[in-house]
């Protein structure tokens, strides 16, 4: 059996806005399990919420209210995500944002979030200080070249995959 310290879950969320304290909600979650340095599973779901997605936010991620119609609600999706996370270390690019929303959503369902976490944004700032910025796209291009045309930017699963590749590359860099 694999020791849990080798299990990381790289995740990304898409939301209705920037602040869970202002009532904004998670509307999409994508997560990739990394075990022993390799992808070992994924989780992805849209989440129907009782809040309209502002047009300026729709223009960022492309998720519309119509796309959420018929999708499961947070009460169904988040317990499944909670089980998927297990006791793995959560990794995210700008973890403060993603974990802020995740903590808020889990608290609504009385699910404690005790997982350790790591931030590829903070790591990339230390490892690649000369980049013009440390956005997910910039760090990805620095490490791997162009982003493939089939990647849907600002969609949770595709962003989670990009962050997972960055995480795995950072791990290779650190272990040299």
Give the ranges where the chain is alpha helix by DSSP (H): 55-61, 65-68, 74-85, 95-108, 120-127, 136-144, 156-175
Pairing of strands 117-119, 89-92: parallel
**Cβ atoms < 10 Å from Cβ of 162:** 25
* Distance from chain centroid for Cα 131: 22
154 catalytic per annotation:
yes
Q: Which of 24, 104, 154, 173 is catalytic?
A: 154
Side-chain-side CA neighbours of residue 51 (13 Å): 17
Dist CA 157 CA 148 (whole Å): 14
Side-chain-side CA neighbours of residue 154 (13 Å): 10
| Catalytic residue positions, numbered | 154
């Amino acid at each position: 059996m694999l020791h849990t310290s080798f299990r990381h879950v790289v995740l990304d969320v898409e939301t209705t806005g920037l602040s869970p304290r202002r009532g904004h909600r998670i509307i999409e979650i994508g997560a990739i399990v990394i075990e022993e340095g390799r992808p070992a599973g994924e989780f992805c779901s849209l989440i129907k919420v009782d809040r309209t997605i502002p047009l300026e936010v729709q223009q960022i991620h492309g998720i519309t209210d119509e796309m959420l119609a018929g999708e499961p609600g947070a009460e169904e999706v988040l317990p499944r995500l909670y089980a998927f996370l297990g006791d793995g270390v959560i990794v995210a690019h700008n973890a403060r944002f993603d974990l802020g929303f995740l903590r808020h959503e889990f608290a609504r369902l009385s699910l404690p979030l005790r997982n350790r976490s790591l931030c590829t944004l903070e790591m990339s700032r230390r490892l690649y200080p000369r980049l013009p910025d440390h956005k997910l796209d910039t760090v990805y291009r620095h490490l791997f070249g162009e982003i493939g045309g089939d990647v849907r930017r600002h969609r949770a699963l595709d962003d989670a995959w990009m962050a997972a590749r960055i995480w795995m590359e950072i791990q290779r860099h650190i272990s040299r």
